[in-house]
Amino acid sequence: MGDYASTTLTGCHSLRSLLLTSATITLEQFKLFVTHCPLLESILLTVNNNPPLLTMTNPKDTYALPLPHLTELHLFSANDNIGPFLDQISCPMLEKFVLAQNLEDGAHGTSWPHLGLFLGRSQPPLRYLDLASIPMALKDFLDSFKEVPSLKSLNLDDIAVPDELFRNLLLYPEPYQPLLPALQSLTVTRNPSAINGESLTALILSRWNCQCKPENPIGGISEHCRDCQSLQSLHIDGRDLRGTMHVTAIIEQGFNLVISGKTISAS
């Protein structure tokens, strides 16, 4: 997609969904046609060896393009860091964000501040966050999560999640300001770092405060209320787990623990 396509799209004022794959388009061109599509609600962008989209030809241009109606954003990048692109946009109404990049070994780095800066700039009512192969340091996680207290679902795939993050996610009583207080579902898969079973146990127990009533007097909760604020499910890979998790009691009450695709029962 080049000048002709970007010029054509400037006439699509009612466009609500946009899909770009392997586009030969610069970031300036992207900004141009998105500016003329004020009603965009969903963007799926797949970049494959296209550095022009991920870098500015004018590095002094620090203007972040607002996408005021965007509620869903999917960004996928092969072989290129998509962080510089994220630095150029702002999405104040974003509810779902899926972000993945596939870099060569050794090119990942050890920190990725782009996500925290993007969320801090956007201040979105984010509910769903899915991250894959993003080199997040502990500070990056903390800086990002403090900006999205509305988050309900968090998926982390192929990311070295430090054990200290689980301790930072413990839900303490007031007057503390916890991270992700509304989190209901947590998935951690293909974690290069080992996951401590005791840390996960402490995290789950601190966040299990479900007040939903079971359908039957005896047995767990089969379906949670829409306004339930408790952590309801955890999905992890068994090969990443070190030690034992002691959560039998809350599994009996309705907590959903899935290890390597298998739902763990209380018995």
pLDDT in tens, 120-129: 999 999 999 9
First to last CA, the chain: 57
Residue type, 15: L
- pLDDT given at position 253: 86
Q: What percent of the chain has pLDDT over 90?
A: 50
- pLDDT given at position 256: 93
DSSP structure string for 59-117:
TT--PPEE-TT--EEEEEEESS--HHHHTTEE-TT--EEEEEEEPPTT-S-S--THHHH
pTM tops 0.85, yes or no: yes
Pairing state between β 195-196 and 256-259: unpaired
CATH number at residue 61: 3.80.10
Report the domain count for the chain: 1
Residue 104's domain comprises 3-263
Q: What is the CA radius of gyration of the chain?
A: 20
pLDDT in tens, 60-71: 556 788 999 999
For residue 43, which of 55, 53, 57 has the smallest C-alpha distance?
A: 53
